[in-house]
Structure 1
Amino acid sequence: MKSICISVLLLFTTSLFAQEAGKAGELLKNEASKTEIGSVNNKKSDVKNKNNSGFRNQGNPANNGFRTKNPQYRWNQEYGYSEVFLRIPEQGFFSVEIGDQFISNNSGKFRFFDLPAGRMPISIYESGYLLYRTTLNVRNNSRLVLDFFTNEGLFLLDSYPVQSYGFNSWNDLWNNPYGNSGNINYPNVMDNQTFQEFMDTMKNRAWFDDKKLVFINQQGRHAMFTSEQISILVKDLSFDKNKLALAKSLFPKCVDKQKYFIVGEALDFESSRKELMDYISKL
């Protein structure tokens, strides 16, 4: 009986913190009119009811131009962590489709995230008409960088490892506002014991600011820090100009950038705090 009560209590507690549509964040007003909601956008040249050879058709004639309702929510769907960056340095309105992702713009820059590893079809359109189609070999945790020229074709420039973005997975960005942030494990971030050992070693080897800066930049090259840890490192320096320089250099290595104001409080002068905030706002 006791175990049953505990199980019920756990289920009840879990339900209190479960994600639910519309229970977090600020609701933004739907500016579409009632007649527009659910209809197909026919203004773009790449959306037509009638298809021809090589023309991308997003519409489903069986739906008579209206979408089906009753969406199925998937909170923690993991698709992949590979990326493809494609540039088209020509004037025109281009569209790029990789797998089930589709991007259209006239900026010439197309960035695809959350791609699964494996062979991925890629199609390139101009004003809706197919120009090029091939298959990419996308590797796990890698970023392919490509250039496309309408007269020459698609060129793979290089492949790079995807750098850590400072959180365990992209889902954390969306799940944290619901209060589901209790078990986040940041990659390469120092735990308290390791950080204390880091501080002790630095104090034994480096007495002055210049030596400390060299030590932090060298030894912390492959580590991530919390705002609180960076604040401690900044406070340990003697001169405010060195504190400011360190606060700027460690911002990309911070795993909780939303709390970086803590680091600003470690600076001696208000002018330095303002300079740090100005610097961060421009990144």
Structure 2
Amino acid sequence: TNAFSQIPYSSLSFFSEDGYPFTVIMNGLKKNSVARTNVKIDGLTNTNYKVKIIFEDKTIPSIDKNIYTKPAMEVTYRIKKDKKGRNVLRYYSEAPLPYDYVPEEQVYQNDVTDNVIVTDDNNKGVHIDMNVNETGGNISIQTDDGGVNLNTNINVNDANVNYDANVYESETHYVVTEENTDHYVMQGYEGRIGCPWPMNRQNFQRAKQTITNADFSDDKQTIAKQIVNSNCLTAQQVKEITGLFDFEKDKLEFAKFAYTHTYDIENYFIINDVFDFSSSIKELNDYINSVR
């Protein structure tokens, strides 16, 4: 029996190709109280849903569509314009859920938790406790090495997020910011971006484990491409997945495929460290130049 088929849940993701913030209504239930350009709904158990997309810009007509889920799969739909210039909802890609998938708690309704971004640029262990609701809350962050002790109080007034923070003897740098942009902000990176929202650390580690568990190179390649096709990665994440392949040709094939799904594409040179031969580096560079 396929391990994926044993997962009793499915997942749906929606994103706006043109960057229009929107709200998702599924079977009459509002899934995100704050309009966003990318919305993911976890832990789905029905086989189909009546979906309505309502745009923050009230001049844009809403979209209604019946959508069927796939067990143990995350299916992604994009909002794009058809030939007549109308916004439509179209299938985009799909990827298997991790074998140890557990639905994440939905925090879209009646909260502003996903309006705060916290990033760690040194990949150290970070413990985050959040208690955020419509009227305010608190975020506490502490690293495994005790280098950072951050307590943030949040007051929500007319959809604005205000915060006060104290950081003590920090070697790790954090960004705590209001999410009023349509893409993730990586500290210290000012180059071009290839996709807006890279995978968080927890989901990425699950994805890596799923690839690692595959017995054959072809299976690893298939699973890796399915995951990348539905997600955005950082260059470092691409490097880590590329390193899971044993053969040079497989590393090169995946590195080419993942380029257009990478957030910090101007950091893509770090993938070169994974290759054993300079000819592979040259072939990857030629490919990147051909798709720019």
Select the structure of larger CA radius of gyration. Answer: 1
TM-score bracket, shorter-length normalisation:
0.3 to 0.5
Richer in helix (by share):
1
The TM-score normalised by the length of structure 2 is 0.38
The TM-score normalised by the length of structure 1 is 0.39
